[in-house]
Amino acid sequence: MTDLTRRHLVYGSAAALAALGLAGCVSNGPAQVAAAVPPQPNAGPTPADDTIAEDQTLGPLSNARYVAMYSAVEGDRFPIPAVKLAIIKPPFRRQVVEYPTTEAPGTIIVDPPHHFLYHVLANGRAMRYGVGVGREGFAWSGDAVIKTKQEWPDWYPPKEMVQRQPELKKILGQLQGGLGMAGGPRNPLGVRAMYLWQGNKDTLFRIHGTVEPWSIGKSVSSGCIRMIDQDVIDLYNHTPVGTRVVVLGGPGAARVG
């Protein structure tokens, strides 16, 4: 198969993505999703309101506020180090922005071409976060729902990823759900993960933290949506199971679902 034909298949359909083993940054180990959270009623997202924005105004905050926002987090299961503000370009720092949309408050909208994630608030506003998204060949678009959430998630890379990156074998071990890496400070999924499903099907894509905050604002992942750990904690705390997630399209993005 030529590179051109392969690229056409990858970009042309979600089925091709799955068939080539390119969809998702994790595998669906048997215990991974079931153990993520206790069963919860799927009542749909709770509408976001002004309390999410707290005392933040539209636009970026002062450097002092941002230093505090991205400071070390104490009292979690593992230490969460501070993020150097210099590595987060100002547009990708958490901030409330004007964002008129027909989507209901509480919805998450991901804009991969611009590397932003919007958590829709009321009155034409949204909390905007910088994100890292799928690199060439791993870009996708579609609608999904957060079915489960997990703190300090275990990571189960797909077999195809291990084949592409055999060096991963050195850091993986046998867990309850298969070959993977237990949650912790070195885990690529960071401190929190939200699992994206379409109906009864796991997309294998996640919104999660990262141990590489310098990758925010870049297209580097295998399709997952990565966030700075402090930001993913903030979103996680304001996002119930059942939240609708819309991933917008872009050049070369395969439609999933």
Q: According to the model, what pLDDT value does residue 193 have?
A: 97
Of 35-49, 96-110, 186-200, give the lowest mean pLDDT range: 35-49
Query: Does residue 19 lie in a domain region?
Result: no
If pLDDT is split at 50, 70 and 90, which confidence band does 34 have? Answer: very low
| Tens of pLDDT, residues 218-252 | 988 877 899 999 999 999 999 999 999 999 987 77
- Structural domains counted in the chain: 1
The CATH number of residue 176's host domain is: 2.40.440.10
Of 89-98, 145-154, 159-168, give the lowest mean pLDDT range: 159-168
Of 83-87, 146-150, 171-175, 185-189, give the lowest mean pLDDT range: 171-175
What is the residue range of 142's domain? 24-255
25, 115, 119, 208: which is the annotated catalytic residue? 208
Does residue 171 or residue 187 have the better pLDDT?
187
Query: Does residue 187 lie in a domain region?
Result: yes
If pLDDT is split at 50, 70 and 90, which confidence band does 257 have? Answer: confident
19-28, 48-57, 78-87: which is most confident: 78-87
Q: According to the model, what pLDDT value does residue 137 have?
A: 66
Q: According to the model, what pLDDT value does residue 60 have?
A: 80
**DSSP code per residue over the chain:** --HHHHHHHHHH-HHHHHHTT-S-SS---TTTTTTTS-------PPPP-GGGGTTPPBB---HHHHHHHTS-B-SSSS-B----GGGS-GGGS-EEEE---SSPTT-EEEEGGGTEEEEE-STTEEEEEE-BEE-TT--EEEEEEEEEEEES--B---HHHHHH-GGGGGG-EEETTEEEB-SSTT-TTTTEEEEEEETTEEEEEEEE--S-GGGTTSEEESS-EE--HHHHHHHHHT--TT-EEEE---TTPEE--
Is the pLDDT at 176 greater than 70, yes or no? yes
Query: Does residue 1 lie in a domain region?
Result: no
If pLDDT is split at 50, 70 and 90, which confidence band does 26 have? Answer: low
Q: According to the model, what pLDDT value does residue 77 have?
A: 96
If pLDDT is split at 50, 70 and 90, which confidence band does 162 have? Answer: confident
Average pLDDT, the chain: 80
Is 114 marked active-site? no
Query: Does residue 5 lie in a domain region?
Result: no
Is 25 marked active-site? no
